[in-house]
Structure 1
Amino acid sequence: MHLDHAHTHTHTHDGPSAVSADAHRPDGTRRALRIGLGGPVGSGKTATVAALCRALRDELSLAVVTNDIYTREDAEFLLREAVLPAERITAVETGACPHTAIRDDISANLEAVEDLEDEVGPLDLILVESGGDNLTATFSKGLVDAQIFVIDVAGGDDIPRKGGPGVTTADLLVVNKTDLAPHVGSDLARMAADAKAQRAELPVVFQSLRSEGGVAAVAAWVRGQLAAWTA
């Protein structure tokens, strides 16, 4: 059974906070917060999901849904890394453009997240990772409550300036692999200024998963979203 997926959103000084009309499951219990992660191929979405699982698994009950076109490769990576117990990781093979399964026909992903809650719940958080896509990838509000869009410096420091729905409208923009900037000629200050121009007050995080800080800023943002969700 799927839930009624009408959504509304409120905003705080930290950006949009997830508020949903369908915050409860049919049995009256609160359902998990759903956060989607999208972005181009190779930007570091799966690595970010893995790092978030490691950072949050001791304090939250969480699970992951991955999307690939014809494989379970991202889910298998998470399983090899043992970021969560195997029963908390599931995969959707979209068989088509990744947009379809996260924005247009979300039924397979809805079934996956609801099955996880039935089988391993109650859950605090479900991360839904899109298959690798371009700058137009966005999630249906009927699938996720908040969206993270991941780009990386190796894709070019003009990506924030080019915009696109993923860059301009995601609740959080993550500029990943900042440690590579000197090696690929990317200007982080330029990227920050362009992201600010495109996103106004929506938050942006620059991260390197190889650095000491790692995914800490993104994990803090997720905690803030969860606090708003459960308030």
Structure 2
Amino acid sequence: MHLDHSHDGGPAALSADAHRPDGTRRALRVGLGGPVGSGKTATVAALCRALRDRFSLAVVTNDIYTREDAEFLLRNAVLPPERIQAVETGACPHTAIRDDISANLEAVEDLEEAVGPLDLILVESGGDNLTATFSKGLVDAQIFVIDVAGGDDIPRKGGPGVTTADLLVVNKTDLAPYVGSDLGRMARDAKEQRAELPVVFQSLRSEDGVDAVAAWVRERLAAWTG
């Protein structure tokens, strides 16, 4: 199931500040947020595999006290080690992606200096709640990931993550029959909350897996470089 709409039929508007201090074009920054266990890191890994042959990309992960998400990406060899940076926030995850973004900005800038030029940097938040959003000073577009095992009432409950993210991903659709989640209801509720903002339903266990999300990212990259 795939709902894919935008306000004007094309990619959403992105930041006008597309350059680094030296005048070169900086990477597009896409943030991924969502509750603990929703599948953010697995989605990041799948995106890296889908995009790495065509684009130069890197990842910044956020955990409160560990490097667990970065270590998952390293174990699965989705990118060379020098393209993955871990930020230990030491506080609620939304603090480092919305309130005090200095550590994440430093990680992003370090990656561009070390392995640039880059086309794309994925910034993964630590697991948070439905209020999680990224500062526009950190990312150019936001993906919010929820999963069907968290309950099919999540889209109806709303919250800034669900209602305002540039893309909402409803993950683990393969689990719906086992946890009693109604995908049709989730689609209707998401449409009600988000109007024309896009929604993707995905299962990373299926053959097409992350294809719809990867296509959305490619559209944003085309708009960014264009």
Which range, TM-score by smaller chain? over 0.9
CA contact (8 A) 1:136 1:166 kept: yes
> Shift of the alpha carbon at 1:13?
4.5
What RMSD in Å do the two structures reach over aligned CA positions? 5.0
- Quote the residue 2:6 is aligned against: 12
> Shift of the alpha carbon at 1:2?
38
Q: Provide the rounded CA distance (Å) in 1 between the counterparts of 2:106 and 2:37.
A: 27
TM-score by length of 2: 0.96
> Shift of the alpha carbon at 1:207?
0.1
CA contact (8 A) 1:39 1:149 kept: yes
> Shift of the alpha carbon at 1:19?
2.5
CA contact (8 A) 2:144 2:162 kept: yes
Cα distance change, pair 149–111 in 1 and its aligned pair in 2 (3 A):
same
Cα distance change, pair 172–3 in 1 and its aligned pair in 2 (3 A):
closer
Aligned counterpart for 1:51 among listed residues 31, 36, 46:
46
> Shift of the alpha carbon at 1:17?
2.4
> What is the aligned length?
225
> Shift of the alpha carbon at 1:26?
1.3
Cα distance change, pair 221–79 in 1 and its aligned pair in 2 (3 A):
same
CA contact (8 A) 1:2 1:111 kept: no
> Shift of the alpha carbon at 1:12?
5.4
> Shift of the alpha carbon at 1:22?
2.0
Q: Provide the rounded CA distance (Å) in 2 between the counterparts of 1:228 and 1:142.
A: 19
CA contact (8 A) 1:67 1:98 kept: yes
Aligned counterpart for 2:153 among listed residues 138, 141, 158:
158
CA contact (8 A) 1:2 1:114 kept: no
Question: Deviation per CA, 1:165-209, whole angstroms, max 9, x where unpaired?
Answer: 000000000000000000000000000000000000000000000
CA contact (8 A) 2:202 2:210 kept: yes
Task: Give identity over the alignment, percent.
Answer: 91
Q: Provide the rounded CA distance (Å) in 1 between the counterparts of 2:152 and 2:93.
A: 24
- Unaligned 5+ runs, structure 2: none
> Shift of the alpha carbon at 1:16?
5.3
CA contact (8 A) 1:156 1:186 kept: yes
SS at the partner of 1:100?
A: helix
CA contact (8 A) 1:34 1:145 kept: yes
Aligned counterpart for 1:139 among listed residues 128, 134, 142:
134
CA contact (8 A) 2:3 2:199 kept: no
Q: Provide the rounded CA distance (Å) in 2 between the counterparts of 1:130 and 1:3.
A: 24
Runs of 4+ displaced beyond 4 Å: 1-4, 11-16
Cα distance change, pair 150–12 in 1 and its aligned pair in 2 (3 A):
closer
CA contact (8 A) 1:3 1:22 kept: no
- Quote the residue 1:125 is aligned against: 120
> Shift of the alpha carbon at 1:20?
2.0
CA contact (8 A) 1:68 1:98 kept: yes
Q: Provide the rounded CA distance (Å) in 1 between the counterparts of 2:19 and 2:30.
A: 16
Q: Which has the higher contact order (CA 8 A, sep 6+)?
A: 2
Q: Provide the rounded CA distance (Å) in 1 between the counterparts of 2:127 and 2:85.
A: 17
CA contact (8 A) 1:16 1:171 kept: no
CA contact (8 A) 2:2 2:199 kept: no
- Unaligned 5+ runs, structure 1: 5-10
> Shift of the alpha carbon at 1:18?
4.3
> Shift of the alpha carbon at 1:164?
0.2
